[in-house]
Each structure stands twice: as C-alpha cells, then as structure tokens.
Amino acid sequence: MNKIKELSSYLELGSHVADIVEHTLTLPEPKLILPTGSTPLSLYKELVSRQLDWSTTTTYNLDEYVDNTIQDQSYRYFMMENLFKHINMNDDNIYFPGDTAVWPDLSYGTEVDLCLLGIGGNGHIAFNEPGSSFDSETRMVDLNEETIKDNSRFFPTIDEVPTQAVTMGLKPIMSSKKIVLMANGKHKKDILEQAMYGNITEDIPASILQNHKNVKVYYSD
C-alpha cells in the first residue's frame, strides 16, 4: 500500500520533489514526464533556482489542450514560462502529446526514469478522466464538466476553456520506472486518500498507482 507523506508546506513539497528530480538528472540521458497545473509551480521554481544541468535530459509532458484559442494557456507556454526557458534544455528534447513525431503510436512511458504527476479533484491523472481504461494509451479525450470548471480559473470565461485534450494514457504513465504524485491543498486530501487507500477502480484513475512498485506520494495542505 502506498503511504501518503505529508510535508510541512507547499514550498517544502517543491523542494522535496526537486531533490528527487536532481538525483534523476545525474543519470545518463535522463527521461522525465512532467505535469502542468498549479501544483508543480513551487517545484519548477525550486528547480530553476538550483541551476541544474538539463542538457542531456528528455522531457515528455502529460497533456495538451486541443483547439485552444488562448495561446498563453497552452501547456507548452506554461512549461516554457515556468521551466524550460530558464534551464539549459535542448528544445529538440521537449515533447508534448499531439506532437506528430510521438503521437498517437507511442507509449511515452517506456524507459522513462521519473514521472511526476498531479491529481485532479475528480481523481484524474493527466487528462485521464474517471472511467478511463487502465489500459489506455496516449489519445484525444473529452474533458469532463468538473475538469472544465476547475480549469476555468485560468481562463477569462468558462466558455473559453478547451473541451478536448491529448493526454498520455494510464498505460504509458504506469510503465515509468518511478512515479511521484504531488497534491497540494486540503481540497485534494479526500480524493488523494480515496486514490491511495481505497478500491483500485477506473472511477478514480489515480488509484491505478497502487499497482506500481515505485510510487511516492507527497501532500501539503
């Protein structure tokens, strides 16, 4: 059973997970899966401040909106602003689902050293919404109502929130060698506990992580 480790603050969550990333970057040609959202912001800030060597690293983002008309809300833009433009990543080693070179026929997670995840209020990981098959591959999905409502805080109006995305599937996520799930805020505690200690069910996509051999789960309130 996975144990949720509670950290003392959101900053501590960022610096704790940054230690794990820093260690991963010492591997030869490290491969990481990265999330967007509000949760990883303290991590990315901490990573930028550490001035690590990312020159041989390859990153795969978990998801990207489809038909997004507000470019500065794209996940690529988010990653550029919060991480990539501040570190020495090689642009050729940055991948997003939807990039023709890697989607739809690739299981991203193969040989990935470290997969970082957030969790949605409905238990989703990436945009694998409740009901997603545990065997799901990277694909285009419809976002559900709760997710659209959650994401509307980043858009001028809810009507501008994209209703579709390309998401890495649960299968490639699970094939990563190590997974770190991060959650911040009391509003995430209940779903996190259901996912980690409750039934393993497609109704709560994050519950699949209980089946992974090398998962760490960190929470700050």
Q: Which of 30, 37, 162, 172 binds ligand PGA (CB under 6 A)?
A: 37
Torsion sign over Cα 101, 106, 107, 113:
negative
Q: Minimum distance between the CB of residue 121 and ligand PGA, rounded to whole angstroms?
A: 7
Site for ligand PGA in 118-137 (CB under 6 A): 118-120
The stretch near ligand PGA (CB under 6 A) out of 34-42, 107-115, 172-180, 201-209 is: 34-42
- CB nearer ligand PGA, residue 89 or residue 206: 206
Q: Under a CB-based contact definition with an 8 Å cutoff, are residues 98 and 61 in contact?
A: no
The stretch near ligand PGA (CB under 6 A) out of 35-43, 47-55, 90-98, 190-198 is: 35-43
Please identify which of the residues 46, 64, 113, 129 carries the catalytic annotation: 129
Which residue, judged by CB position, is nearest to ligand PGA in the bound state? 37
Query: Is 63 considered catalytic here?
Result: yes
Q: Minimum distance between the CB of residue 198 and ligand PGA, rounded to whole angstroms?
A: 18
Q: Minimum distance between the CB of residue 194 and ligand PGA, rounded to whole angstroms?
A: 15
Q: Under a CB-based contact definition with an 8 Å cutoff, are residues 125 and 205 in contact?
A: yes
CA pair distance 84, 86, nearest whole angstrom: 5
Residues, the chain: 221
Tokens coding 167: 């998401």
CA 110 to chain centre: 16
Which of 188, 65, 12, 29 minimizes the C-alpha distance to 117?
Answer: 188
Q: Which of 8, 9, 38, 69 binds ligand PGA (CB under 6 A)?
A: 38
Tokens coding 52: 């690590």
| Catalytic residue IDs | 63, 122, 124, 129
